[in-house]
Structure 1
């Protein structure tokens, strides 16, 4: 695929954060646009993709996969097809909120716990008063509630649907309901971004960001939600990724 670099079977976009934002802006501003499914993939997702056939199908049909991790950037340089920078779900969300505040876009937020969801949307409404918040729901819902959520999204037709239910679950949920989400223009998962916006989780200090150690800061400071794998277990994918994509260059 043009403008991408293949890392362990995933076609990662070479677009910068600015370029990605511009592409999504152009898509949203079109009067008629099909659903644009963007995936932000980190080394953990890249390793999971090696054995998860369903995830492979989802990623192969995505409209854009951005590099959400310094490991992806390093692997691309090792391959000789360098990606300039990471494009994380959190950074992209902030950029689109800013654009949406200027252009009057609408957003729907789905995921995280009820208290955090409510607080995050409250903060977003104050910081970006010109966007329309089409709706919000926490990520703990029954099948009946899910039906009502999908109906509400169909009715409100937000420009952007944001999911904060963790990866790869968010993207599997999106894929499952693609036909129902046809009136949404852009959809993507943002991991724990709403937790940061709500103040539940402190943002990574600049010092850690400059060293590209945001993953380590999260590992040491962010609590794990009930029912999720421990962060130490999840980060076990990192050495596998380093070996396969950077040392062995099996890419």
Structure 2
């Protein structure tokens, strides 16, 4: 399947729809040959795009990623301003649910790294209850010390998961995957932000209407007012992409 893409502030985003993306990932997992490191999926929002501009390590990671999907309405809107529209958001949370559903049919194995111990256990318990044919290769909370890291990596490598789900926050998850990619022994790895919090019921996702109105960011801000500093990046991103869009169209 040829992958159409478009660049938003030099970040190459896939233009595949959610269904097309899930189909590609499913095919890759079913027919993956031996790779020296996992297939690295990154779901990037405007905040990550802005960090890409100044963080050389993150820039290298994203430039070498196997696939980058538009995790945020801001990315979709920016693509429209540039005249090369992306059809829809393809978020980490939606992809995780989609992969679990497909994995339930195919018997895939998942390893979950991240969140606090209670949330990690609760999320895995709920996944086990809902997706009975998904194999839980292992799990570990995300509040580990540096001295524990080698043991965790060895545990993941021994488990050989089809999918390694890393919930350490962005871009910490992406950096962790990249730094240890040669040791992980997983077919695929990706960061999922706060998706385990959502699955565990710790955080409520915005209603569909808010999502369709591109207001999921506002819903999260109302539930978590402490995020306001992070949200300040959104108008900066909007201004930069608007200016870029005008240049492209002129």
TM-score, length basis structure 1 = 0.94
| 1:19 Cα deviation after fit | 0.6
**Are residues 1:246 and 2:246 paired?**
no
Q: Is the 8 A contact 2:3 2:16 kept in 1?
A: no
| 1:246 Cα deviation after fit | 2.2
Count matched residues.
244
Distance 1:31 1:112 in 2: 28
CA RMSD of aligned residues (A): 1.5
- Aligned residue for 2:53, secondary structure, equals coil
Which one of 219, 222, 225 corresponds to residue 220 of structure 1?
222
Summarize the alignment of residues 71-150 of structure 1 with structure 2, pairs less than 5 Å apart.
71-150=74-153
Distance 2:51 2:119 in 1: 28
| 1:208 Cα deviation after fit | 1.1
Deviations 1:32-68 (A, max 9, x none): 2422100000001111111111110010000000000
| 1:22 Cα deviation after fit | 0.7
Distance 1:215 1:135 in 2: 31
- Aligned residue for 1:49, secondary structure, equals helix
Structure 1, unpaired ranges of 5+: 224-229
Structure 1 248/63 Cα, relative in aligned 2: closer, same or farther at 3 Å? closer
| 1:144 Cα deviation after fit | 2.6
| 1:143 Cα deviation after fit | 2.1
Structure 2, unpaired ranges of 5+: none
My pick for the range that moved more, 198-207 or 56-65, is 198-207
Q: Is the 8 A contact 1:27 1:33 kept in 2?
A: no
Distance 1:53 1:177 in 2: 18
| 1:102 Cα deviation after fit | 0.1
Distance 1:194 1:232 in 2: 22
| 1:247 Cα deviation after fit | 4.2
Structure number with higher helix proportion: 2
Distance 2:180 2:131 in 1: 28
| Matching residue of 1:227 | none
Q: Is the 8 A contact 1:74 1:246 kept in 2?
A: no
